[in-house]
């Protein structure tokens, strides 16, 4: 299974804010309001429709996010694919390698253009051949969460734990077997913001604690992915500040 990785306010009563080291800690819903929720939503992808086309769009986004490239370039590249109308397995294959490289370059993905184009063609071909081009069918065939993760990685060379974790993070609450542990990035942010104890180390218990904090804030369990994505966004912002020397 994908385990340790080296990566609007709802209704109901609000709990009192906790204090950490003498300071008020923001609520999970406040973090989402400040930094944003899921990346799928920002890209205009509606995963809650359970539509296979929307799920594939998010999977391609996860593949792009999985490389060592900035989030802004990955999102810009995904929008190039969207505008070109190639965000389906069949259209990927019809576009061909040269066209995919062109779109990747247009989005600023030049460092990984050749191998990413090959990866996108391979996963599209495998998905067509084994699951009729439908990731929902892949999920239905999976025996459990571990098998689901293995099937996703088996779609193509280069689809590793980081990409699968990114993808399943926002499929949580949509696919019953999407149960990834939080990434190191999310854990670092949760620790820095006081959502978990500084000494917490077990990812499974950390996940339980974060889910509990989300529910205690009056939020719906099915929307937990927004909190998890917000933690990743926050950590990304901290990393950018460190890079600038602030």
Helix 71-84 and helix 89-106, axial crossing angle in degrees, nearest 10: 130
- The residue ranking higher by pLDDT, 26 or 55, is 55
pTM score above 0.85: yes
- pLDDT band with cut points at 50, 70 and 90 for residue 243: low
Contact criterion met (CB below 8 Å) for 198 and 191: yes
User: Percent of the chain scored above 70 by pLDDT?
Assistant: 88
Region label for 233, one of left (φ > 0), alpha (ψ between -120 and 50) or beta (otherwise): alpha
- From the number of C-beta atoms within 10 Å of its C-beta (0-12, 13-18, 19+), residue 5 rates as buried
Which DSSP helix (H) or strand (E) runs through 20? strand 19-20
pLDDT score, position 154: 98
Over 70: is that where the pLDDT of 6 sits?
Answer: no
pLDDT higher than 50, residue 20: no
Task: Tell me how far apart the alpha carbons of residues 67 and 212 are, in angstroms, rounded to a whole number.
Answer: 31
Give the pLDDT score at 3.
Answer: 45
Please state, in angstroms and as integers, the Cα–Cα distance from residue 15 to each residue in 18, 24, 185, 206, 230, following that order.
9, 13, 26, 20, 20
Q: What is the pLDDT of residue 237?
A: 86
Q: How far apart are CA 187 and CA 226, in angstroms?
A: 15
Task: Reply yes or no on whether the pLDDT at 19 is more than 60.
Answer: no
240 contacts: CB under 8 Å, gap ≥ 6: none
Split at pLDDT 50, 70, 90, the class of 15 is very low
Model confidence over 47-102: pLDDT tens digits? 999 999 999 999 999 999 999 888 999 999 999 999 999 999 999 999 999 999 99
Q: What is the pLDDT of residues 148-182, one digit of tens each?
A: 999 999 999 999 999 999 999 999 999 999 999 99
Task: Tell me the C-alpha distance between 97 and 39, whole Å.
Answer: 26
User: What's the pLDDT band for 24 if we cut at 50, 70, 90?
Assistant: low
What tokens appear for 190 in the block? 């949760």
Phi and psi of 87, rounded to 5°?
-90, 60
* Tokens of residue 154, six digits: 């088996």
Q: Is 152 exposed, middle or buried (0-12, 13-18, 19+ CB in 10 A)?
A: buried
């Amino acid at each position: 299974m994908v385990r340790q990785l080296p990566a609007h306010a709802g209704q109901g009563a609000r709990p009192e804010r906790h204090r950490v080291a003498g300071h008020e800690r923001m609520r999970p819903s406040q973090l989402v309001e400040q930094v944003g929720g899921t990346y799928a939503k920002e890209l205009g992808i509606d995963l809650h429709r359970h539509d296979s086309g929307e799920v594939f769009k998010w999977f391609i986004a996860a593949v792009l996010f999985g490389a060592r490239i900035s989030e802004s370039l990955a999102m810009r590249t995904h929008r190039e694919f969207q505008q070109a109308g190639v965000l389906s397995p069949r259209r990927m294959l019809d576009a061909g390698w040269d066209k995919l490289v062109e779109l990747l370059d247009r989005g600023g993905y030049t460092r990984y253009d050749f191998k990413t184009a090959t990866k996108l063609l391979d996963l599209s071909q495998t998905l067509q051949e084994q699951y009729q081009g439908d990731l929902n069918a892949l999920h239905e065939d999976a025996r459990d969460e571990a098998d689901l993760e293995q099937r996703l990685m088996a779609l193509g060379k280069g689809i590793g734990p980081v990409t699968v974790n990114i993808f399943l993070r926002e499929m949580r609450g949509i696919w019953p077997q999407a149960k990834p542990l939080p990434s190191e990035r999310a854990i670092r942010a949760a620790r820095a913001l006081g959502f978990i104890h500084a000494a917490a180390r077990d990812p499974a218990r950390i996940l339980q604690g974060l889910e509990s904090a989300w529910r205690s804030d009056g939020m719906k369990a099915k929307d937990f992915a927004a909190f998890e994505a917000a933690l990743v966004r926050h950590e990304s912002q901290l990393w950018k500040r460190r890079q600038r020397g602030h």
